[in-house]
């Protein structure tokens, strides 16, 4: 998905400098606070995030919009589509 077509970010979560499982724990907590249709942007430098957050989205049935990498920076966009445990 191109940058132009990405939805507006509702909240940003900067997890840089933390490693598994902290980025996932913080993403989970942040997603629970969002309303349906809102978008979380996660910034990370733990390369495991590239696997974890797509898996988290599948398990929690939330919409993964993008996983982008620029140098060591990983940027993940997730849209909340409904309540998940």
Partner 1 sequence: MSVTPRLKADGSRVQAIGLISGGLDSTLAARVLAEQGVAVLGVNFSTGFCRSDHHRAMGALGKQQDPKRLRNEALRAGADLEIPVRIVDLAEGYLDVILRPRHGYGANMNPCVDCRAYMLRAARAIMAEEGADFVFTGEVLGQRPMSQHLQAMQTIERESGLTGLLLRPLSARLLAPTLPEQRGWVDRDRLMRIQGRTRRLQYQMAAAAGLDDIPNPAGGCCYLTDIVYASRFADLVLNLPADARPTERDILLLKVGRHFRLTPGLKLVVGREEAENNFLTHFFPEGPFLEAPHVSGPLGFVHIQPGAELPTLAQRELMAAIIGRYGKGRADEVLDVEYRHAGAAEMLRVKPLAADAPLDAYRIAQHYDRQAVRWR
Catalytic residues: 20
Q: Judged by CB under 8 A, does residue 33 bind partner 1?
A: no
Binding-site member from 48, 63, 67, 75 for partner 1 (CB under 8 A): 48
| Under rule CB under 8 A, residue 11 binds partner 1 | no
Residue from 12, 21, 37, 69 in contact with partner 1 (CB under 8 A): 21
Nearest one of 36, 49, 52, 44 to 70, comparing CA atoms? 44
- Of the candidate residues 9, 25, 36, 73, the single one contacting partner 1 (CB under 8 A): 25
How far apart CA 74 and CA 72 sit, in angstroms, is: 6
Contact between 13 and 56 (Cβ < 8 Å): no
Task: Give yes or no for a contact between 56 and 24, defined as CB atoms under 8 angstroms apart.
Answer: yes
> 8 or 59, CB closer to partner 1?
59
CA–CA dist 51, 44 (Å, integer): 12
- Site stretch for partner 1 (CB under 8 A), options 4-12, 35-43, 45-53: 45-53
């Amino acid at each position: 998905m191109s940058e132009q077509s990405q939805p507006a970010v509702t909240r940003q979560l900067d997890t840089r400098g933390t490693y598994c499982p902290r980025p996932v724990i913080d993403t989970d907590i942040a997603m629970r606070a969002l309303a349906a249709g809102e978008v979380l942007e996660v910034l990370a430098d733990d390369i495991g995030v590239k696997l974890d957050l797509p898996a988290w989205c599948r398990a929690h049935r939330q919409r993964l919009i993008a996983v982008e990498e620029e140098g060591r920076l990983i940027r993940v966009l997730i849209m909340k589509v409904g309540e998940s445990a």
